[in-house]
Amino acid sequence: MAFYRRLSIRSQLSFIAVCIAAVMLFIISITYIQMSGIISSNNEQYTKDMIAQIKQTVHSNKDVIDRLMTNIAYNNDVQNYLTEPEIAQIYMYSKRISSLFINMRTLKEGILDIVLHGEDGRWYDLYGGKKWTGPFAPMLAPKDAIHYFGLQNFGDAYQSENCILVGMKIKSFQSGDRFNSVIGTLFFVIDPTALIGESGSIAEQLATQSFLVDRENKIISSSNPEEVGSELDVIIAEDTSPGESRKIIVNGQTYAVQTEDLPEISSMIVSMIPVAELLRDISKIRKLELAVFIFGAIIMFALFMLVINNVLLPLKKLMAFISSIKRGDLNKLKNRIHLQGYAEITVMSNELNSMLDEVDNLTHQLLETNAMLYETELEKNKSELSFLRSQINPHFLYNTLEMVKGMAAVKGANEIREIAKALGQIFRYSIKGGDRVALQTEMGIIESYMYIQQIRFGDRFRVRYELTDEAMACQIPKMILQPIVENAVFHGLETKEEQGTLVISGKVNEQKELVIAVEDDGLGITPERLEQIRNVLTQRRQAIQDREDAQVSSIGLANVNNRIKLTFGDMYGLYIDSTLGEGTIIQLVMPARGTLHV
């Protein structure tokens, strides 16, 4: 209580208002939680009953299918058909099993096809299912019982696009050497409704969604027939425990989910309902309670403001004046405040006015200084503009190269024509387009550049390109490879006596980073010079340009390194490694942007 008495009047009143609001919110929250718990419990029990009904239906239909398959597997005609060596007898048995299959099919609605595979290659089917079921026969082990393969898509082979495949191995029960040995495989191709019933038989309450999914997470049956054959959200299948209700979020919406395993057919029943729909009725009560709370809060706020305005009005005016100054409006800095009240507030207002006078004087001095700096910047810009105007028009140079290419073509100087063409492409590429290009586009210019260098040096070195299609689709800063390649040619390969090799490679690593490597087997770099270059790469751009002892190659590498870091961040950049007498490799690492994976 002693601490409470030391608080300001505003704080004490605020504390009381917060406590009252907290108590009201607590009562509303407890009421809502209790009501929602009752509704959720009732829904959970209803869902369990519904799932139990579905499970009973599935087991009943499974028992019928299992009995039909067993009857066929141990039918004398089927056994004889699979073991009879005489062709005439085989034909006779095939007629009998045809009638048998047709009769069995009529006993259970939804059986689309019955297929028989013999171990010696003989087979029989009703409606062409042999080519669909053949690959599944080796998947069944001799000791396996009736096995449910789950939902399969056999195209337009049957009237139902999505079918359930059931299979079992047939063993001989006839006395002799082959007794109890596997003599064939039996398959049933059934419509999902033969197992679960019509989609409408999966009951619906409010917006409840019910699914029967197989081991591959494919929907065998659903309250929405259009979903059959699609894949159930992995989050639902993995985050739910059988027989237990829990809440999950799917596509931004919260659902109450219950599941039940059906190991006999390698499937699972999933029931889910949006929590918002489940609690729709009590949401009205919650809104009413919130409306009452807001109404009470408004009344409390009115009383609170009445006390504040009567007791703390002078201080409130002072705070409002200070807030207007903090917004940075220069016109507000010229205003002054005059408060009539107790001595402390008068002293505070006078001190504030003195401070504003001092700030006003300092502001005028700052404005004058900024004006001088601005004039200096204008003069600098004028000088740069004059320098740019003195430069040769780049389009004139490009047109001149085109003229040289045409003249070389007329004179039959093919090498000059190709060099002018390649140089023109490089020049046009450097002055047109945006700041980002695909690596494939950049490599086209690199190839033009290397063509010029190979004409110059002849067979002094070879070039090999090793770039993946994924890397070629990535977006990189424009003209970022040419300085690196030029550095490798002039500092690595030009002074090498024997023939050298330049390798340009690119790939996207597991971290989704584009890694471009320019590697040569030239003279390499001494350890001292390599350390100097690495130090240059860690320095700031302006500092590098101002160093008198920095070599051109170091500046070029540093500029490329700075462009990557400024574009993509400090975690990316350029890395160099070299061994004297063996060669140099430079790697450019940047995020793989612009590909199908980004």
pLDDT number for residue 505: 95
Residue predicted with more confidence, 425 or 31: 31
- pLDDT tops 70 at residue 407: no
Domain ranges of the chain: 74-196, 313-387, 392-431, 433-591
pLDDT score of 410:
60
pLDDT tens, 144-203?
A: 778 888 788 887 788 777 788 899 989 888 777 778 788 899 999 988 878 776 644 444
- Of the chain, the percentage scoring pLDDT greater than 70 comes to 73
Residue 594 identity: G
pLDDT of residue 403: 59
Is 386's pLDDT higher than 80? no
Considering 22-31, 261-270, 556-565, 568-577, the range whose residues carry the highest mean pLDDT is: 568-577
The CA distance from 532 to 534, in Å, is: 5
Choose the most confident range, by mean pLDDT, from 71-85, 312-326, 379-393, 539-553: 71-85
> What are the structure tokens assigned to 583, written together?
């060669």
CA–CA–CA angle 248, 254, 258 (5° rounding): 50
pLDDT tier at 520, thresholds 50, 70, 90:
very high
Q: Which residue has the tokens 């006390």?
A: 307
Average pLDDT over residues 545-556: 53
Taking the C-alpha atoms of residue 295 and residue 557, their distance in angstroms, rounded to an integer, is 68
284-293, 329-338, 577-586: least confident range = 329-338
Among 186-190, 388-392, 452-456, the range scoring the smallest mean pLDDT is 388-392
- The pLDDT of residue 279 is 67
For 74-196, CATH number out of 3.40.50, 3.30.70, 3.30.450, 3.30.700 equals: 3.30.450
Q: Which residues contact 36 (CB under 8 A, 6 or more apart)?
A: 279, 282
* CATH of 433-591 given 3.30.565.10, 3.10.20.30, 3.40.50.2300, 3.90.79.10: 3.30.565.10
- Asked whether residue 393 carries a pLDDT value surpassing 50, the answer given is no
Would you say residue 428 has pLDDT above 80?
no
Check if the beta carbon of residue 142 is closer than 8 Å to that of residue 154: no
Closest CA to 41 of 258, 191, 221, 218: 258
* pLDDT-wise least confident of 342-356, 476-490, 546-560: 546-560
Q: How far is CA 483 from CA 45, 101, 421, 500, in A?
A: 72, 77, 20, 19
Q: How far apart, in whole angstroms, are the C-alpha atoms of residue 564 and residue 353?
A: 51
Most confident of 300-309, 327-336, 352-361: 352-361
At residue 387 the predicted structure's pLDDT band, cuts being 50, 70 and 90, is: very low
User: Which tokens is 390 given?
Assistant: 């003195």
Task: Summarize the confidence of residues 375-392 as an average pLDDT.
Answer: 52
Judged against a pLDDT cut of 60, whether residue 541 lies above it is answered with: no
User: Which whole number is the average pLDDT over 347-359?
Assistant: 77
Q: Which two tokens stand for residue 544?
A: 């590098």
Q: What is the mean pLDDT of the chain?
A: 77
Residues 6+ apart with CB under 8 A from 320: none
Retrieve residue 106's tokens: 């009529």
pLDDT for 310: 56
Tens-place pLDDT, residues 54-99: 778 888 888 888 899 889 888 888 888 888 888 888 888 888 888 8
Confidence check: pLDDT of 591 > 90: yes
Query: Which of the residue ranges 244-253, 328-337, 586-595 would you say has the lowest mean pLDDT?
Result: 328-337
Tokens of residue 77, six digits: 């005609």
pLDDT, residue 499, reads: 87
Helices (H) and strands (E) in the chain, counts: 20, 17
CB atoms within 10 A of CB 573: 19
Mean pLDDT in residue range 453-474 = 87
CB 576 within 8 A of CB 585: yes
**Is residue 385 pLDDT above 60, yes or no?**
no
At position 394, the amino acid (one-letter code) is P
Q: Cα 196 to the chain's mean position, in Å?
A: 36
Q: What is the DSSP track for 236-298?
A: HHHH--BT--EEEEETTEEEEEEEEEEGGGTEEEEEEEEHHHHTHHHHHHHHHHHHHHHHHHH
378/121: higher pLDDT: 121
